[in-house]
Amino acid sequence: MTPKLDRPHSAPGFTIARRSNCGKIFTTVTLFTSGEPMEIFVRFGKAGGCGSAMADGVARLMSYGLRSGLDPHDAVKALSGIGCHLGPNTCLNVIAESVAFVMRHLETGCDINELIEEYDLGEANLAA
């Protein structure tokens, strides 16, 4: 495993706000100066409880991994599709989606808000 890179004092990034069955979830992805994802922060709209503690742990482990050479796509794959007692479109899956939006934006240069809006429109059409 590659040695963990030091965190710079300051880093740019994206904060994605998503509604889920588990409430509003904010996922922040910060970037290395090279433009690669460096760390993840997760904040539940409703703070406290085991759920937000677990999310904190997942975010810290992901950040540790990203700074040690983990491919962000593998992180997204690992968290995708995990549901909870509130259904399939829930906490961990929303975190995975948010990281995936940032990755798609970094790879295509497409406006990240448009990517999210298009995705939500597609989901709404599927539900209709």
- Are 23 and 102 within 8 A, CB to CB? no
95 part of the interface to Zn ion, by CB under 5 A: no
Stretch that binds Zn ion, among 24-32, 40-48, 52-60, 76-84 (CB under 5 A): 76-84
Angle at 29 between CA 25 and CA 30, to 5 degrees: 145
Minimum CB separation of residue 9 from Zn ion in Å reads 34
54 part of the interface to Zn ion, by CB under 5 A: no
Q: How far apart are CA 23 and CA 45, in angstroms?
A: 6
> Which one among 27, 63, 90, 93 touches Zn ion, defined by CB under 5 A?
90
Residue type at position 56? D
Stretch that binds Zn ion, among 5-13, 62-70, 80-88, 107-115 (CB under 5 A): 80-88
38 vs 100, beta carbon nearer Zn ion: 100
Q: From edge to edge, which strands make up the β-sheet containing 23-31?
A: 13-20, 23-31, 37-44
84 part of the interface to Zn ion, by CB under 5 A: yes
